Every structure is written in structure tokens, then in C-alpha cells.
Amino acid sequence: MTPREVLALCREKDVKAVDLRFMDFPGLWQHFTIPVSKLDEDIFEDGLGFDGSSIRGWQAINESDMLVVPQPETAWIDPFTELTTLAMICNIQDPITREDYSRDPRNVARKAVNYLKSSGVADSAFIGPEAEFFIFDDIRFDHKSHQGFYYIDSVEGEWNRGRDEGPNLGYKLRHKEGYFPVPPADQMMNIRNEMMQTMIDCGLDVEAQHHEVATAGQSEIDLRFQELVHMADQLLMFKYIIKNVAKKYNKTVTFMPKPIFADNGSGMHTHISLWKGNEPIFAGSGYAGLSEAAMYAIGGILKHAPALLAFTNPTTNSYKRLVPGYEAPVNLAYSQRNRSAACRIPMYSASPKSKRIEFRCPDPSCNPYLAFSALLMAVIDGIQNKINPGEPLDKDIYDLPPEELAAVPKAPGSLDEALLALASDHEFLLRGDVFTSDVIETWIKYKMEREVDAMRLRPHPYEFCLYYDI
């Protein structure tokens, strides 16, 4: 879509407002709105000013002026606003130099794709994330100097089997048994259908929706793979639609990786494939139907996985999900079927066009522009440097003898471990100026100070259960 076509769409749909959106550094969508009368073709070139110092992880107050530059191909009609509103995703620029801003996550993703093309490895990178989430009925939480708590409730929650609901119909999903019972046990069917249809109406290509493993409304809606930057754009629309449809039903959604103790967390298994000259370069005659390039790509992912997790699993809560001994993919190995391996090769189809690598570690708390870009850079490094991934892990991980299990490398056990890994292993991210040193340093500093240290300083409620009577 061109700027002129966007203006024509505004006239056709009788648009009254234009919402300009961009992603902050940690990974939340931000926006401001202008009357449609203020939108003209010049804005697509000149941009609009805003205060960059008020955005997390961005400019200092003495360098606060920045520009949002709307991207016409991202235009869509927001289905949730009372006033007819057209939304567009924006790039961020410096108003003086007109250079794209290095800490704009979308700019990082665009540079990653350009670097792929310039490397000669491939022309296109396609990403297919499987983002899981919870639909709750109630959420309350707080933390002060003298108290801290959270309270979750769901009509599906196993803990509500004995609640007087006038009447309680008894359809409560047991822990780890939410995959795939039909209604009435699955009480989120109508909500997910509306989420799915709203996505389709907004131009997203939805493949499936279903209940996930956990009790209390855990769900998944899958989008068809797309080119990297486009997929990151769509994932933001995806989250926005899911949260706002839930709100219509007076429910709330979280993409927090591990909100419920003793049940499955929410991951975002991420599929990646590379194409060159309209041909998939991961298809071949090797292990699991993979090419030599695909094997090297796996080698790159596994080598850099501890550093990658600083972007793909960027919250302290992420590591409540990535715990050894469960289904979580903490083993830095690959397999064609083993879901406890960090890299899996899906075997659903024999078609070369479907051949891809599934990186199972990521979760939906990530900033998709940064996470997908870091994953692509690890893949490129693996192919360029012919990194051998070793032997596959096709055995049942739970049956391995202790000495054999100990030889399998493990993912970091905490966010600070992942950040330390990133601090010592990020040269592969700097190539092509994709991730700048400033981006890496700011990410580590922000995460350490605002999240890792903030958690370290606070007593945990369960510590009182363990230690109060000492």
C-alpha cells in the first residue's frame, strides 16, 4: 500500500483518526493519535515529532526530540475503537540526521534482513512463532515494603472445583490436561474463535486456534509464517487483538511465561527457514531431511543459545518455565522429534518447502523484532562458519543415565546468566551493524538494573513459608 492508497482508504472507510504505533525497547507497543485531517503524503516522508526521552531505554532528556515515520504498507483499521481509526506502524528517526534510530527494535529487524541479503547466504528469512497465552477472569497483584502478593482466578481453574458458583457445573480442567478437550470443558472456545476471526478481518493469516496444556484458560493461536519484519509487525497486532477481545468478555490475557505454579508455562516455539532464489535452502538429504546449511544453522543456534536467550527469554519469569526435568526445552541439542531439545525439526510434511528449524526456547514476553533478529544472526553465523551441531538427541531425555545427561549442555537458568552470556558472546550480533554495541550495552544495563536487581532485592512470599520460623 502506498501513501496515496492509505489516504484513499481513509476516505473509503470514513476514517476519523490515525493511530501511530511503535515498539519501545523492552517490547511494549506505544502510540499516539492524530485527526485524519492532519494526515497527508508529506508525513510519510517527513514524519511527526515526539519525546523520545519518555520511552523506556531510549533517549536522554537533552536529546529527546525524535520522529515517527509511518509505514503505509502496515495500515489497518482498528476494530476496537469507537471512532473509526486507521493504525500504522512507524519507524523511528533522528530529526537532525534523519538516520534510523539504532535502538528502534524495528530498525534492528530491518537491518538483520538486509544483512542476510548482503551475506549471500539467502534472500529471505521466514519466521513462524507459536505464541501461547492465558485467559484469566481476575488478576490482582501488588508489592510494597511490608507485603507482596498475586491472586489469579479462572472459571476453568482446577482450584475452583469446590467453589459455590450457583451452580458450579464442574467443568474444570485438571493441571496439564487442557490439550485438547472439547467444550464445555474448553470454556474459551467462543472467545478464541472471536480472536481468530478478528485477526482474519484485520488481514492476519491464521492457521489454527486451540486450548493449550495448562488449566485456567491457556490457549494458542497460530499464524502462518511470514517474512521476518512482517511477522514481528503481525505479532504485535496479534497480541493487541487477543487482549482487546478478551477485554470485551471482561477477561484478561497475559503473555507472561509462567503465571501459574505447578502447571505448564507459555512458550513461543519459533520456526525459521531461509530461502534463496525462491528455493528453500534448509531442505536436503541429511538428518531429518535437512541440508548441510540447515545443520550449520542449528550449530549456530546451539552455540549462541545462552546469549540468544537474553532476547528470546528476556524476563526473570522466563526462567520459571525453563526448568530441567520437565517438557521445557532446556537441553541445548537438536532432534527431529524430541520436544525437550532446544532445536526440533518438525516432521509433519515431506515437502522441501516445509523444511524448517523450530527453536523451542523462546517465550512470548520477548520483543519480537529483537528476538527474531538475534535468532537470524545466529543462523547466519552458523552457516558462514560451518558450525557443527554435533549428534542429535533422539533418546528419551528422562531415561538417560546421569553421566550422559550431564554431558548435554543446558540453557541458562536465570535472566542474569543469559545477560552475562550475551555480554561475553555478541560479536555475531554486531555484524552488518545490525545490533550496535550501544544496543547490547543498553539492553544488558536496563535488564540488570530494572529487572534482575529489582527481583533480588525483594523478599518472595514463599520465602516466608520456608524460613519465617527459623
Distance, CA of 20 to CA of 87 (rounded, Å): 6
Distance, CA of 375 to CA of 369 (rounded, Å): 10
Q: Catalytic: which of 21, 103, 106, 132?
A: 132
For this structure, is 360 an active site residue?
A: yes
pLDDT band at residue 62 under the 50/70/90 scheme = low
For this structure, is 211 an active site residue?
A: no
**For residue 338, what pLDDT is reported?**
75
**For residue 401, what pLDDT is reported?**
84
Tens digits of residue pLDDT in 285-315: 999 999 999 999 999 999 999 999 999 999 9
Ranking 55-59, 309-313, 457-461 by mean pLDDT, the lowest is 55-59
For this structure, is 5 an active site residue?
A: no
> Is omega for the bond preceding 184 within 30 degrees of 0, making it cis?
yes
Q: Catalytic: which of 211, 304, 344, 360?
A: 360
Q: Catalytic: which of 103, 269, 271, 344?
A: 269
Ranking 73-77, 276-280, 350-354, 379-383 by mean pLDDT, the lowest is 350-354
pLDDT over 60 at 61, yes or no: no
Distance, CA of 46 to CA of 256 (rounded, Å): 37
Packing angle of the helix pair 292-312, 415-424 (nearest 10 deg): 120
**For residue 113, what pLDDT is reported?**
98
Q: Catalytic: which of 5, 40, 51, 463?
A: 51
Tens digits of residue pLDDT in 406-420: 888 999 999 999 999
For this structure, is 358 an active site residue?
A: yes
Taking alpha carbons only, the member of 224, 235, 199, 243 closest to residue 21 is 235
Q: Catalytic: which of 186, 220, 222, 416?
A: 220
Q: Catalytic: which of 56, 339, 450, 458?
A: 339
For this structure, is 130 an active site residue?
A: yes
Task: Give me the amino acid identity at 272.
Answer: I
For this structure, is 42 an active site residue?
A: no
Distance, CA of 139 to CA of 267 (rounded, Å): 20
**For residue 77, what pLDDT is reported?**
98
Residues 211-216, mean pLDDT to the nearest whole number:
96
Tens digits of residue pLDDT in 174-189: 999 999 999 999 999 9
Q: Catalytic: which of 130, 186, 233, 451?
A: 130
For this structure, is 45 an active site residue?
A: no
Strands 85-93 and 17-23, bridge-based pairing: parallel
Instruction: Tell me the pTM.
Output: 0.96
For this structure, is 458 an active site residue?
A: no
